[in-house]
């Protein structure tokens, strides 16, 4: 694991931006860094076949001087990786909130959920109940998630019991917020691919350990587990949280708080048969060919201009289709960036209000033809 310097000019701009956004949640960065240190140290002792009875650094039996046990280079590397992960979570949370505002606007005028909506990512068997009221409540817990990220969490210790873990500040507060954070992680995956963040293996495990109580909520997505939340014997035997829809906004414990708006009247299914409805949502082709938006100002690397000129329209549209299908919540700009990258063209969004803003050195400003990129015009 190597240290990443956010002042390194060779570092991609997207990575530098995310590291800067981590400053919004400094405590979480520290917690992730400590977690990564623990993982690396434990792995190093496992690799060395630690003799029985020899304590790991930083345990109660150790002399307590952790600084000497964690090399400074490792500490810096863990911190830089933690900053990237924290920044990606912060950005992912902002992306989710923006998507939910769009969903709310569409729901307010009676539009049905489209394939690219954030609500579409929630457990599908409850989709008949994702109405305007639900989206408003879900949006409030997503907004509060930003405060949870700022609060950070605590690195779990082997001695912690489940009861001790409950009440730690910074953890999600209810099932709805677990689902909101799940949607944020989906966006972190996209950012990882889009900006080549090279997040450490196990970054999801770090998030689960620090910000979740458990991952029982994933059963809500499992069609083979339909109805498990209504099985009182199973819930009692496993001790899992009540995951019936009407309890998604109920705080996990007295130490957890849920936004007053979200904690209002429970969402109760109007018709028990509704849960059996299966909606077949089909991918719709991009509307770029018929929509008014057929051009986009975009920055291209000079070395990739020739590659741009030989992109065949059908190949471009197929790539856009693939990217949109894999990541339906991306904006047009993110889809364009990802599609061009798959086709061998390095690109990014320009500064605000180009071409009045000077173009960054090392880039060329193009007016991209979204129906046929080969016909794009350099400005």
Where in the chain are the domains?
Answer: 13-276, 295-378
SS (H, E, C) the chain: CCCCCCCCCCCCHHHHHHHHHHHHCHHHHHHHHHHHHHHHHHHHHHHCCCCCCCCCCCCCCCCCCCCCCCCHHHHHHHHHHHHHHHHHHHHHHHHHHHHHHHHHHHHHCCCCCCCCCCHHHCCHHHHHHCCHHHHHHHHHHHHHHHHHHHHCCCCCCCCCCHHHHCCCCCCCCCHHHHHHHHHHHHHHHHHHHHCCCCCCCCHHHHHHHHHCCCCHHHHHHCHHHCCHHHCHHHHHHHCCCCCCHHHCCCCCCCCCCCCCCCCCCCCCCCCHHHHHCCCCCCCCCCCCCCCCCCEEEEEECHHHHHHHHCCCHHHHHHHHHHHHHHCCCCCHHHHHHHHHHHCCCCEECCCCCCCCCCCCCCCEEEEEECCCHHHCEEC
pLDDT at 84: 94
Tally Cβ neighbours within 10 Å of residue 128: 15
Residues 6+ away with beta carbon under 8 Å from 152: 25, 27, 28, 30, 31, 169, 170, 210
Distance CA 78, CA 87 (A): 14
pLDDT for position 10: 59
Question: Per-residue confidence of the chain (379 residues) as pLDDT tens digits?
Answer: 555 655 555 577 888 889 999 999 999 999 999 999 888 888 776 655 544 544 444 444 444 444 446 778 888 888 999 999 999 999 999 999 999 998 888 887 766 655 567 888 999 889 889 999 999 999 999 999 988 888 776 555 543 433 333 334 568 999 999 999 999 999 999 999 988 898 878 899 999 999 998 899 999 998 888 888 888 777 777 788 889 999 999 998 877 788 888 887 544 444 433 333 222 222 233 344 434 457 888 888 899 999 999 999 888 988 888 777 666 556 677 778 888 888 989 888 776 555 555 677 888 889 888 888 889 989 8
pLDDT the model gives residue 279: 29
For the chain, give the number of residues: 379
| CA distance to 60, 87, 94, 153, 263, per residue, from 259 (Å) | 38, 24, 18, 19, 6
Question: What integer pLDDT is reported at residue 11 of this predicted model?
Answer: 72
Contact in structure between 365 and 378 (CB atoms under 8 Å): yes
Structure confidence at residue 265 (pLDDT): 56
Query: What is d(CA 147, CA 75) in angstroms, rounded to the nearest whole number?
Result: 26
């Amino acid at each position: 694991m190597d240290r990443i310097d956010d002042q390194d000019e060779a570092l991609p701009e997207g990575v530098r931006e995310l590291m800067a956004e981590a400053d919004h949640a400094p405590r979480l960065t520290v917690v992730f860094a400590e977690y990564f240190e623990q993982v690396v140290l434990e792995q190093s002792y496992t690799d060395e076949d630690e003799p029985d009875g020899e304590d790991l650094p930083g345990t109660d039996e150790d002399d307590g001087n952790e600084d000497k046990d964690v090399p400074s280079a490792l500490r810096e590397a863990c911190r830089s990786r933690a900053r990237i992960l924290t920044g990606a979570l912060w950005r992912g949370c902002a992306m989710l909130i923006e998507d939910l505002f769009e969903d709310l606007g569409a729901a307010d005028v009676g539009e049905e959920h489209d394939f690219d909506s954030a609500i579409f990512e929630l457990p599908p068997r409850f989709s008949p109940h994702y109405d305007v009221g639900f989206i408003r409540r879900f949006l409030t817990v997503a907004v509060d998630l930003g405060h949870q990220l700022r609060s950070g969490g605590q690195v779990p210790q082997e001695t912690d019991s489940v009861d001790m873990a409950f009440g730690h500040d910074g953890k999600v507060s209810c099932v709805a917020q677990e689902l909101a954070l799940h949607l944020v992680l989906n966006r972190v995956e996209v950012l990882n691919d889009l900006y080549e963040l090279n997040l450490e293996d196990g970054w999801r495990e770090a998030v689960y350990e620090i910000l979740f109580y458990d991952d029982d909520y994933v059963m809500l997505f499992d069609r083979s587990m339909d109805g498990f939340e209504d099985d009182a014997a199973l819930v009692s035997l496993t001790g899992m949280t009540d995951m019936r829809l009407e309890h998604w906004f109920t705080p996990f414990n007295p130490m957890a708080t849920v936004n007053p708006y979200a904690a209002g009247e429970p969402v109760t299914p109007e018709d028990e048969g509704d849960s059996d409805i299966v909606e077949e949502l089909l991918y719709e082709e991009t509307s770029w060919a018929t929509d008014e938006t057929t051009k986009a100002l975009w920055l291209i690397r000079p070395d990739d201009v020739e590659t741009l000129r030989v992109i065949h329209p059908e190949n471009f549209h197929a790539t856009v289709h693939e990217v949109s299908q894999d990541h339906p919540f991306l904006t047009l700009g993110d889809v364009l960036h990802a599609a061009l990258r798959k086709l061998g063209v390095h690109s990014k969004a320009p500064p605000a209000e180009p071409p009045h803003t000077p173009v960054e050195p090392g880039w060329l400003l193009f007016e991209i033809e979204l129906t046929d990129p080969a016909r794009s015009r350099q400005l």
